[in-house]
Chain A
Amino acid sequence: GQNIDQPTEMTATEGAIVQINCTYQTSGFNGLFWYQQHAGEAPTFLSYNVLDGLEEKGRFSSFLSRSKGYSYLLLKELQMKDSASYLCASMDSNYQLIWGAGTKLIIKP
């Protein structure tokens, strides 16, 4: 079956670093996406990984290990506005996204 696992909720301190993990099992694999969703709003695209390794984009980085079926999103220098849900999604062999349930990130001052 197809399955995406990520923690339900995480808490971190403003200015700190947090890593949100995601493991996936899908029928075929065409890449791993991360989206950010603020409460009451639609998701916005953050990153896409299809090759192993780390992709850095400002304060956000995303890592992929295809052999382990594992990805993480790394957020540095946390700001209060980073409080949101972070959605992990795997693209399967039909180029459809299989979504995780999301990780709610709470940032404390």
Chain B
Amino acid sequence: GAVVSQHPSWVICKSGTSVKIECRSLDFQATTMFWYRQFPKQSLMLMATSNEGSKATYEQGVEKDKFLINHASLTLSTLTVTSAHPEDSSFYICSAKEVAEYQPQHFGDGTRLSIL
């Protein structure tokens, strides 16, 4: 149980393109989903917390107009990287947490984003 699907796994695109990443909880409902970014050999960095039906909460230093988050249902959150540039190239990982309080976050497989 507790499977999280993230799509796409790998994106290569030109500078200036907007990229949309989907995160789905397949067998449980997730009122809260999280978006992380990880650069090579560095630790996870929380970008934002996505709450179903409300605006996402962004961490300090993360541009909300650059990284658009939508959490329209209990099983789907999307992250759109708008007008992506080479410095946005990274490993983006989503996680989802079951409704009950003392539950772990379950991670998707991540999306490798390369901006040329």
Across the interface, do A96 and B49 meet the contact criterion of CB distance under 8 Å? Answer: yes
* Chain A residues near B34 (CB-CB < 8 A): 97
Residue of A nearest to B100 (CB): A95
Residues of B within 8 A of A (CB): 6, 34, 43-44, 46, 49, 91, 93, 97, 101-102, 104-110
Chain A residues contacting B91 (CB-CB under 8 Å) are 40
**Main DSSP-derived SS at the A contact region:** loop
In the complex, what residue of chain B is closest to A102 when comparing beta carbons?
B43
Which A residues fall within an 8 A CB radius of B? 30-31, 33, 35, 40-45, 48, 50, 87, 91, 95-97, 99-102
Give 10 pairs: A residue, B residue, CB < 8 Å, sorted on A. A30-B102, A42-B107, A43-B93, A43-B107, A45-B107, A95-B101, A96-B49, A97-B105, A102-B43, A102-B44
CB atoms of B104 and A45 under 8 A apart: yes
